[in-house]
Amino acid sequence: MSLHNLTNTPGAVRRKKRVGCGESSGSGKTCGRGTKGQMSRSGHKRKPNFEGGQMKLIRRMPKVGFSNEARSRDFVPVNLSQLAKFAEGAEVSPETLAQAGVLREPQKEVKILGDGEMAHKLTVKAHAFSASAKSKIEAAGGTCTVIG
């Protein structure tokens, strides 16, 4: 296969429409543009949001409300029941959770939630704790440390 062997499949390329070649050709005189108006003039480009001089849809829509998305934090939830697999006295952090297979995305922030029971003492380091999780960890003799 070489460059000089390449050809298009039949019908892939159409011939250029030759306009202005007499009235009987079907696209003579006005060349298929109709009569008068900005669309018949040369150099006119249709803007994607132009609505013929009418107020644009984007300008008619109400622009109200508030979005806190830029300041919101995206936490990965981890329940106390998932911390039961760690040995007593172990230090639990996002890195150790990822190694144990609890976290799929170790680069995200971790929030410990209070679903489940704490049977033994753990040192837990996370980005956030729910109130119930913090009280259960501390009741079992463990400590909660907020990181980042």
pTM: 0.55
DSSP 100: T
- Please name which of 72, 106, 73, 93 lies closest in space to residue 145, comparing C-alpha atoms: 93
Residue-wise pLDDT tens digits, 79-90: 999 998 899 999
Q: Is the pLDDT of residue 94 over 90?
A: yes
Q: pLDDT-based confidence at 145, cuts 50/70/90?
A: very high
Q: pLDDT-based confidence at 39, cuts 50/70/90?
A: confident
Q: pLDDT-based confidence at 52, cuts 50/70/90?
A: confident
What residues contact 103, with CB distance under 8 A and at least 6 apart? 76, 78, 94, 97, 110
- What is the set of domains in the chain, with CATH numbers? 19-65 (no CATH), 70-146 (3.100.10.10)
